[in-house]
Amino acid sequence: MAVLGLRRAYLRASTQQCRYTSSKAGSSFPDPFPLPLSSDVSHESSQDGLDESLLPPPIHRPNETITSLRARLVYQTRKRGTLESDLLLSTFAKENLPKMSEKELREFDKLLDEPDWDIYYWAIDKRQPPKRWEGTELLEKLRLHAKNEGKVVRRMPALDGWAASLSASRGSSRD
């Protein structure tokens, strides 16, 4: 009986300490899962102060054709891992990739090597981009696209002929 009473007292005390409270004023526990644009989120780049030699190098693709580069970039803009980045980058790619030169495509490829949330926050002007991206024409185009001044309802674009163009550029190697 005494053991049962001690057990109840322990459980009561531990649940009172661990009880989650929202991040209202006076709360002793911060929100463990803050929303991306909330004031609890740091607006510093995730790479500020990070030694770039610690980052994995991008994959070198010396024999990649322009057609397969475009198709790969379409895929990479659709499969980032966060819906916000997927929607923003895939609609940007749909509008801009067909018009981009090879140099612009390579620059966009380098941008996609950056972390998702950094790209997103740079695009919506919530974070200052690092010097390597500050003032670039590509980032300015992405910011203009993110502003959506035309108030266009955006949805994930259809793949259209991208998959067909990629398989045609590779030839029929599945025979």
> Quick check: is 19 in a domain?
no
> Quick check: is 14 in a domain?
no
- Position 174: which residue type? R
Mean pLDDT, the chain, rounded, equals 77
pTM: 0.63
> Which pLDDT score, from 0 to 100, does residue 146 have?
94
> Quick check: is 69 in a domain?
yes
Q: Which domain holds residue 137?
A: 63-169
Question: pLDDT tens digits, residue range 9-26?
Answer: 555 655 554 444 444 555
CATH of the domain at 142: 1.10.150.250
When divided into structural domains, the chain yields a total of 1
Nearest CA among 170, 142, 171 for reference residue 69: 170
The conformation of residue 170, written as its DSSP 8-state character, comes to H
> Quick check: is 4 in a domain?
no
Question: pLDDT tens digits, residue range 30-71?
Answer: 777 776 666 665 545 555 555 566 667 878 888 999 999 999
**pLDDT-based confidence at 81, cuts 50/70/90?**
confident
> Quick check: is 43 in a domain?
no
Q: What does the alpha-carbon distance between residue 89 and residue 112 come to, in Å, rounded to a whole number?
A: 9
